[in-house]
Amino acid sequence: MSPVNQLLLAFILIQFKHLIIDWIWQPPYEHQNKGIYGHWGGIQHAFKNAIGTATAVGAAFSFASGPLVLLVFVFDFIVHYHIDWMKKQVVARYDLHPMKDPEFWWATGVDQFAHQLTYLFILWYVANRFF
């Protein structure tokens, strides 16, 4: 598979993972507790995301070594956890609600933008190590 196709496959797998884990398969226990630093709900959510991202990288890049996949996992876990925690802090501090505050959606947009930049950085890092 060409390098461009590997990058595209990794990007599609990561996007699919993000759709499932960040939106569809996020039980109340996770999204209600992501704003409590160190709570298992937020840790569990970030762990699921990091496993998915690392799996996508490992699947798309057959040359990806165990240490590289582990690095992707650790990086995504730490960054994803803190992006979500910060969004919850902003929403709580300003008492933002989805049905009445456009700022809630601004915070959600910034949160999602930060996740996408994280994924692009991961793919850039992997690609620059091997291509």
Give the rounded distance of the alpha carbon of 21 from its chain centre.
9
Where are the alpha helices (H) located in the chain, listed in sequence order? Answer: 3-18, 28-31, 40-60, 66-93, 102-130
Q: Which of 14, 66, 73, 10 is nearest to 46 (CA)?
A: 73
Above pLDDT 90, what percent of the chain?
Answer: 95
Give the model's pLDDT for residue 62: 84
Predicted TM-score of the model (pTM):
0.96
What is the mean predicted confidence (pLDDT) over 84-109? 99
What is the reported pLDDT for 69? 97
Domain spans of the chain, in order of start: 3-130
What's the mean pLDDT in 120-126? 98
98 pLDDT higher than 90:
yes
| 35-84 per-position pLDDT tens digit | 999 999 999 999 999 999 999 999 999 888 999 999 999 999 999 999 99
- Residues with Cβ within 8 Å of 47's Cβ and at least 6 positions away in sequence, in order, are 77
